[in-house]
Structure 1
């Protein structure tokens, strides 16, 4: 095992003049005239210059730099530069609200914030009034880099050195910082470079397109796949349905990553004589496609969508992937467990379930190191790290079943998380905002099925009796609560469905019966007995973008 930088150096020595990064003109249009391209040699040279600047300012092993670099070339170059020194990056989503930006930066104990010039005021606003003196600089000020205020650790970076801290939504509503090591990243790259079946990568030949954000593990997986196979990353700023296929063709993509929402949107477009891109694209890799869309998509566009399962915490060393037949299309099949995996399926009491019955997936690496390729833990949260590893297996919170031929089929999430268009949304976080409004006496936030986004945010609400008269009707109430939530949450977390009830399903100990509430919400949506504000939510997104 080596570092990410050393793996890049190794690959660069073999394919120095080949393309490493391509940002198509459609994705770079807001800040660059034409596409952005780097060969392995060019990227290495740029990263080395940046690394010298960081080292000269005192940054070194064991420190962290928070980065708000969007899906631009700067992200890759600074990650490589910092990894060379053993400095960890903390990616920050520029779409976050100020309080969310401040939380990630402060909680991570970053000693520097590096951002694009266009985000400098946003970061400073987020940190204003905070009890912090973290310096903020931008990518055009590297020659004037603030001197490091932390103390670097002695020694060279190794497999256990931290590469990044990714913040994921937690069931408590507070984002958790997943510490990811060099071993985590190199295992991820080795897994992808060595996979066979539909996802086989030809060394030095592949061009992998991804529209996914670099603050997420999925996009970083694409990066490692290409670094370890001598391929080229085609990084988009985000998913654009209107020019998607044009970008795929022009970029020469041979494979791509997706979220379940993308095939649904593309299938809604008018058919053309150019739909079949099978001769160019070998496969798409992702998760969450609606079962009824999978076969239609493959028949129309000419390449397989390979569904898989992984988490930020697990990495891909234990990834379960439907990269070989039988894929059992239409059954939410995610493939068979590889030889590197040991697993259990358990009920809510922790007992193993019978073959074919659904149970929570508990998983670990086979062999002497059951945590190989996994995250190193949650930063500042050893209790939660111990909890998810209770009994020697990682508790995923995902419920699956295994069929007679050993294929895994996704059933549901046991954790109180809503998965909307690939974003994990903690129900508790949204509930905490709703509870701040005086008209809300009680509430439960739950996933509601959505054909396009997989799941949408729904809110079951009991109103404060004395305040009901303030509102003209349920729609007026819903509009008011929507506006309130939009002031406190990033747009995709705001409830789109509002269900007003007089009582909530509760256990004998007066805890919310989440499963019953989810069933109730989806039934009321189907019956048209709730307020639908999805259109307003889409307008809110467009304003945010």
Structure 2
């Protein structure tokens, strides 16, 4: 017990010399000063160095300030994965404003809601989305300055706005001093959840969390300097999992990509020497099933970071067979993207490909910058046994969690109840501490009192040689309460019957887990590519 004040509690204070707010904006300054000539952005014929990119970002921040955008105010972008949106991740917060990168797949009504709820002061619009933006602005019902982005790589669309992006940049001065954040808790970005019902919630990111998660990406993926990163992941999704800022940390190159098509992806991997990309399992599945001739000439190892629904082991195995290395991560909009990482151990190197893939399908352990993750009883928040069987909810705690939901204190309090962030994802905890998701709480199937993981069944379906995609939901049943219903997309040219799919599942699953019905056809998806299981559940109820 201390009997007198500790000498460390007085005289040792925070000063301008020893305490600077953490912000990822410092990564841009370092990249531009240390590696000024290294390529920062590639987009077709456009190739810009880090010093050129930094200058454009400063002009963007300066122009926004001269247009009257103030600290803490929202700047919205409705744009594809192009250099303009990459620059916005630095230029907007550089003058203290908040970047709101809007999901380009939303309808005008949803975009209007986001513009109103986030109180956007100015909107930048790529010509591809001009018509949608014009309708959204009509619904919004209040005037807002609009800047058009005229990307030469896209023909058509509708260029709207008071001026275009390049002319707007010309209004700014790269030499102008921009203050940046005075407090690392200040907001840097606003992202909206892709909820399936009701209005989306505005997730507020702070500079501290963006800084930490950007560094966490580099550490957890062992990113060497000068990686070549392909933008298969939308920059509007969790700010591209913070990778615009991560690429500044390591002075890497961003290869922009407007539309994810397998031919374009593989061509850029080959021509630009792509070393890394991120995305949902559907991107891996697309590459996995691409014709062999599209992969010709690709000799270097490519690393893929994948999140979303748990990637089926069969998909991971297919990528590994190509010599591509898959890292599975887990996160939500509320935690800046990936915060849980499937860290690989040397002791697994001797396993066969199938065993390796099964381990890689787990979500993993906490990343370098997350303070804690646990699987616990959602009611008591007591950790479940690490036996790989007992299901609980995933909880997180750390500095790379969001500030809260904009203008929604009730939802914020619920999310942080008990001093942990409640993810709503159900998982088991393995003996080695690795987390493995079994389902969203709303997606678990309860049949005859038994909990059935839809993900487990989907993993089996993906092993079928003729199955391209699969999703499983609960279907009401008079006897069992619920039974699994499978929705399947077959590979091109395949002809498989419902009975054959069910028989395949019977050979690999316990009887009560086998789907009792199979529906063939395309899967409905959200704007971020996630399967809309609520739509499938509605379809299953009508069968």
- Contact 2:365–2:435 under 8 Å retained in 1: yes
Q: CA 1:398–1:228 in structure 2 vs 1: closer, same or farther (change >3 Å)?
A: same
Deviates more, 1:85-94 or 1:156-165: 156-165
Aligned: 1:330 with 2:350 = no
Aligned: 1:284 with 2:311 = no
TM-score, with normalisation over the residues of structure 1? 0.71
Q: CA 1:194–1:216 in structure 2 vs 1: closer, same or farther (change >3 Å)?
A: same
- Contact 1:286–1:307 under 8 Å retained in 2: yes
**1:67-466 superposed matches below 5 A:** 67-139=77-149, 140-141=163-164, 156-170=181-195, 172-195=197-220, 199-203=221-225, 205-217=226-238, 219-272=240-293, 277=298, 280-287=300-307, 288-299=310-321, 301-315=322-336, 318-325=339-346, 328-331=356-359, 332-338=361-367, 340-350=370-380, 351-356=382-387, 357-365=390-398, 372-415=399-442, 449=458, 451=462, 456=471
- Contact 1:210–1:222 under 8 Å retained in 2: no
Structure 1 match to 2:53 = 43
Q: CA 1:167–1:417 in structure 2 vs 1: closer, same or farther (change >3 Å)?
A: farther
Separation in 2 of the partners of 1:535 and 1:382?
35
Q: CA 1:238–1:324 in structure 2 vs 1: closer, same or farther (change >3 Å)?
A: farther
CA deviation digits over 1:9-49, x for unaligned, max 9? 122111111011112x3xxxxxxxxx322211111111222
CA deviation digits over 1:305-358, x for unaligned, max 9? 011112221236843333444564224222333575323322343343222122
Structure 2 match to 1:21 = 41
- Contact 2:94–2:180 under 8 Å retained in 1: no
Displacement, 1:262? 1.9
Q: CA 1:325–1:282 in structure 2 vs 1: closer, same or farther (change >3 Å)?
A: farther
- Give the secondary-structure state (helix, strand or coil) at the position aligned to 2:328: strand
CA deviation digits over 1:76-104, x for unaligned, max 9? 22332211101111112232211111111
Q: CA 1:317–1:294 in structure 2 vs 1: closer, same or farther (change >3 Å)?
A: closer
- Contact 1:113–1:137 under 8 Å retained in 2: yes
Structure 1 match to 2:76 = 66
Q: CA 1:95–1:337 in structure 2 vs 1: closer, same or farther (change >3 Å)?
A: closer
Separation in 2 of the partners of 1:163 and 1:37?
27
Q: CA 1:104–1:132 in structure 2 vs 1: closer, same or farther (change >3 Å)?
A: same
CA deviation digits over 1:489-508, x for unaligned, max 9? xxxxxxxxxxxx797987xx
Separation in 2 of the partners of 1:230 and 1:144?
26
Separation in 2 of the partners of 1:162 and 1:453?
41
Q: How many residues align?
A: 434
Q: CA 1:390–1:93 in structure 2 vs 1: closer, same or farther (change >3 Å)?
A: same
Displacement, 1:62? 0.7
Structure 2 match to 1:534 = 522
- Give the secondary-structure state (helix, strand or coil) at the position aligned to 1:329: helix
- Give the secondary-structure state (helix, strand or coil) at the position aligned to 2:69: coil
Displacement, 1:211? 0.9
Separation in 1 of the partners of 2:138 and 2:480?
43
TM-score, with normalisation over the residues of structure 2? 0.71
- Contact 1:260–1:454 under 8 Å retained in 2: no
Unaligned runs of 5+ in 2: 1-20, 150-162, 172-178, 349-355, 446-453, 489-497, 503-514, 530-543
- Contact 1:3–1:157 under 8 Å retained in 2: no
- Contact 1:188–1:221 under 8 Å retained in 2: yes
Unaligned runs of 5+ in 1: 26-34, 148-153, 366-371, 419-445, 461-500, 507-515
Tell me the C-alpha RMSD between the 2 structures: 3.6
Displacement, 1:276? 8.2
- Contact 2:201–2:405 under 8 Å retained in 1: yes
Separation in 2 of the partners of 1:155 and 1:241?
39
- Contact 2:74–2:120 under 8 Å retained in 1: yes
- Contact 2:340–2:363 under 8 Å retained in 1: no
Separation in 2 of the partners of 1:528 and 1:49?
60
Q: CA 1:273–1:457 in structure 2 vs 1: closer, same or farther (change >3 Å)?
A: closer
- Give the secondary-structure state (helix, strand or coil) at the position aligned to 1:93: coil
- Contact 1:116–1:138 under 8 Å retained in 2: yes
